[in-house]
Structure 1
Amino acid sequence: MLKKHDMFGIHTKKKECFSFSLSRLLMPPVMVPSDAASSTTTFIDVLFGWAVSFITMLSHLLNGYLTAFFVFTGIILNLLSVSIFLRKERAGTPAIQYYLVTLTLWQTALLANAFLLYSFPNLWWGHLVSQGTYVYLYPYVYTFANTTHTGSVWIVLTLTIDRYLALCQPLKHRAIGKKRRVRRLMVVVSIMAIMFSIPRFFEVHVILYCDPPTSDNCVATIDRTSLFDNRLYWTIYHVILAMIFVTLLPCLILFALTLRISIALRSAIAKRKSLCAPNSDVDTRCKSMKSSRYNSSRKDHKSNIMLVLVIAKFLVSDILPTVIDVLEHVVGQSAFMRSPLASLFVDISNFLIVLNCSSNFWVFFVWGKRFRRSCRKCIKSTQIGACIYDMAQWNTDSEVSLCAPSSFTTVNATKAYGSTERSFRYKRHMELTASRTDETSLNPSRT
């Protein structure tokens, strides 16, 4: 049985090898009478077998179909987001687009690695494989998947720091928030993420397993290296450094900065409201100022909500791997590897990471008005998107024409019930002219 840290800093295991749950391992043994031992053991075995089957089915559903669905939809939507961000960047928008583009690219690469490492083996073989030709991909995919996760975490952290400086220390942000420096920062952060994840490549390797050892019937098998089994390395790299640079400390920093940003936005809105009192003498000017303040406060409020949602998704998806790492360190690796319940927690945490990387588009779309406008323009610029948009517009027009009155009735009603008195007089004049014409045609003797 293989146990190794996956792309998210937690474990993958072969589901068929589990035989005990984590709760049973932590429970002390219970002494029962000899005459009741057989019946009790049979009932527990049946119940435990049903629980293991249910966990296996749920794990297959999470790692296989659900992960594949969110991977493909997430990659498509992320590429669309990158296209929109690049278009906005050419139009001269702020340097924050570099953060969003880099983050989206890292998350797209993470989704691709999640499909190769989890979804494809579950869909093709029905479980995670540890033998065969496919395992030759594992050292590379496993290393690059951890790299993409680390890079995405650090990009989110730098993005939050940038927003904090822009709102709380604007003078300092003007000096360091230029586009050229942001581009360099994104390159440096990406290189550091790659360097930080290099040890992952030396944690697993492919060996040839022969049964019996002297035979030529050998199969490629993925196995752990001595570096992975080194307890000192495990404690320093997977627990201490991972908690400081990838999981726990970044989560705390993001939460603190987000709270500080929220306070700064509220104080800014309060200052804008105090600039124009309700009983001011210059009413017209105050109304225009109130309108601009209202629109600005709405934009700041939506931006704040969008940032909080992004950070909340990150916290929910990344805090569980840290808890599982600490729990494994407390319980023990061998006991943790045999637990189907721990395996389910691993699959859930992996799926949360995939869900987080594939859902940022919807956060941008719901809370970003400019993003929605750019998305609509981007879709209409393609031939397929223009056809779909025209079909949607045609269906809308058809529904309106079927439910609304005819065009002749609409025109007459508009003339009769127009917003000006002139249209009504014109309508009355036309009616009098028509009646006189009819009377003349009916009485030709008078003419």
Structure 2
Amino acid sequence: MAKQGVNEEISDSELLEVDLEAFTAESLDVGNSQSSSMQGCSLGRNDTGSEGDIGSGNVVSLDGSVEASCSTQKPLLCGSSDLMVPLKRKRNVANKNPMQHFHLRHLRVTDVSHQSWCELQVVHGFEKPDVRKTINDDPVVLAGSSVHLARELEEHDVVSVSTESREDHWAVKFLNVLTGLTMLKESGRVRELPVFGQVEGIFLVGVIDELHYSPKGELTLSELKTRLRKSLPTAAQRRTHDLQAGIYKLLFDRMVQGKLESETFVQRLQLRLDKQLAPGVCDHAQAVGFHVCTFSDALELLLLNLTHMDTPNIDNLKIEYVHQSTGAPLGIKEVQFSEPRLLAELHYLLSYWTGQREPQGVDIEDSWKCGWCVFTEHCEWRKASVKNTEQSVWNKRRR
């Protein structure tokens, strides 16, 4: 991410995953064996197998018993400008919206939040995946990833689970959610917690860096950002961080409120309920206290527990900035959350993905962002903006 407009800051581990699951079968072969990161066995059922009451926050098994825990106007955040330059080329070809054009089943939260930095930068990332890959391979990005991993290992072990299908991939996510919520209840803290859900007809997927309870008992989301310089980011950079945290809260709150529906996973993600899970997934599920054989078992287990675990909504949102090399704290910024404002922002941002509008580049006053962008030479918006600016200067001189 060093050259995606935020050259001094590392995004969360979500950006570093090669999420092949996001793409449809039209664009890749999803049958290859994968390896999925999952929280350690200590997060699941304990050795005693003791039982509790439904609603207490414990994990519920499929048979009902309780497993003791082991508008289309552009919102304020995006801004607007009379100097915006329309794209010459129509990207949504053959009546396909961008989700269909790029063969996407879902979007990552970081992709959506970075639209507020530069929407075209996100689009170019899908159009030119080879260039995008160079960003994820950047040593600065990898260094930031190691900081996140070190934080995660402070709380629990990380193990690899062999997966063979997209259903396996999602089953592991489900188990991570269940073991993560169990850890949150027992220890008051969890790191790298998956969140997902549908907004504006688009399925969003993300990973929360950390959830913990404050001394006052408030559930707090804390996103970790590492920086090369010993300084806080600019306001433009912080807007993407604030938006990211806000989307995480929206998805998490909806999940624990039981608003996920099984039909969404079948229709939007095209997952097969009767798909047998790989032996590695089944074995690991058993190791953390569950018995699942099919994807339907894993999905039902997730939805049942989200209904009965009685997990509260997130109360506070914070962004923690640390120096990448030394780990020294640089500051903590609180995020003001307004659900109506967030939904208005998402309505605009996601309207591109549903084919309701063309992508927008940065406003002319934000053209400084282009200096950090690896897609500058491919950007029609940038070229048109420069041409229009030069023409405007020429016209003024002729007057």
TM-score, normalised relative to structure 2 = 0.29
Q: Which protein is bigger by CA-based radius of gyration?
A: 1
Larger RCO (CA within 8 A; separation ≥ 6): 2
Q: Which has the higher helix share?
A: 1
